[in-house]
Structure 1
Amino acid sequence: MNELSGIRVLIVEDEGFVALLIEDMLQDLGCETVASVAGLQEACAIAETAEIDLAVLDVNLAGQHSFPVAEVLRERGVPFLFSTGYGTSALPSEFSGCPVLAKPFSAKAFEQTLTVALAMKSAL
């Protein structure tokens, strides 16, 4: 059993294949996927109410940014990380210190970034 075992995760990702890859990686780490959603509105609704320990947010959701979801999570004290192919330059200044997972990513990089995001919970 590892330190991520049992962690409840929200996935916000609009590319179905990438979402499935993340779900598989989470399962391998012993995490529970609470929900996997592709749209901003649904992601915000789930972020407001779901019992989650961490969220993985794709920055670009079919042309919309996931930053409103991040704001909801920050208000709730739920740690999150951004997943993006655009690098840290895609983030506004209020999220500049947030963990970023660069696409494409390996299972090891994913695990390391999840661990960093969870460790930052106290900074929210």
Structure 2
Amino acid sequence: MSALNGQKVLVVEDETITGLMLEQILAEAGAKVIGPATTVQQALDLLKTHTPAVATLDFNLGGELSTEVANALDAMHVPFLLASAYSGLSHMDLPAAAGVVGKPYSPESFIAAVIAVLAKRKD
């Protein structure tokens, strides 16, 4: 049984193909996917009606940084995985319940990173 079995995962990704790929990878791992949201506002709107167990965030959403979504998730005590092609993200001031995975990543490494971040969740 997958560690993601039944867990709600918010996906925030502006590239449609990548978002659909993440949705499929997570669903195959047993997660219930919320989204994918392609903008900061869509993600914030989803958070008004859904409380995910964990979230995955693309750092740059069509030129808009996902910092506001990260702050909202942190306020909700929802751990998140920041997925980005940017280097140097490990130097950002991220909450303790956050992780970073660099693009490109394999489905296996992505799921492992989501599981690791989910393990940091404060219930």
Give identity over the alignment, percent. 31
Q: Kindly indicate whether the alpha-carbon contact (under 8 Å) linking 1:73 and 1:80 is maintained by their aligned counterparts in 2.
A: yes
Q: Kindly indicate whether the alpha-carbon contact (under 8 Å) linking 1:48 and 1:72 is maintained by their aligned counterparts in 2.
A: no
Q: What secondary structure, in the 3-state scheme, does the structure 2 residue paired with 1:99 have?
A: strand
Q: Kindly indicate whether the alpha-carbon contact (under 8 Å) linking 2:54 and 2:80 is maintained by their aligned counterparts in 1.
A: yes
Q: Kindly indicate whether the alpha-carbon contact (under 8 Å) linking 2:74 and 2:95 is maintained by their aligned counterparts in 1.
A: no
CA distance in 1, matches of 2:83, 2:99: 9
Partner of 1:10: 10
CA distance in 2, matches of 1:86, 1:8: 26
1:119 is displaced (CA, Å) by 1.3
Count of aligned pairs between the two proteins: 122
Deviation larger for 41-50 or 69-78: 41-50
1:92 is displaced (CA, Å) by 6.3
CA distance in 1, matches of 2:75, 2:90: 18
Moved over 4 A (4+): none
1:46 is displaced (CA, Å) by 1.6
**TM-score, normalisation: structure 2:** 0.90
Deviation larger for 33-42 or 15-24: 33-42
Q: Kindly indicate whether the alpha-carbon contact (under 8 Å) linking 1:12 and 1:36 is maintained by their aligned counterparts in 2.
A: yes
User: Which residue identity is paired with 2:79?
Assistant: P
1:50 is displaced (CA, Å) by 1.0
The structure where helix makes up a greater share of residues is: 1
Q: Which runs of 5+ in 2 are unaligned?
A: none
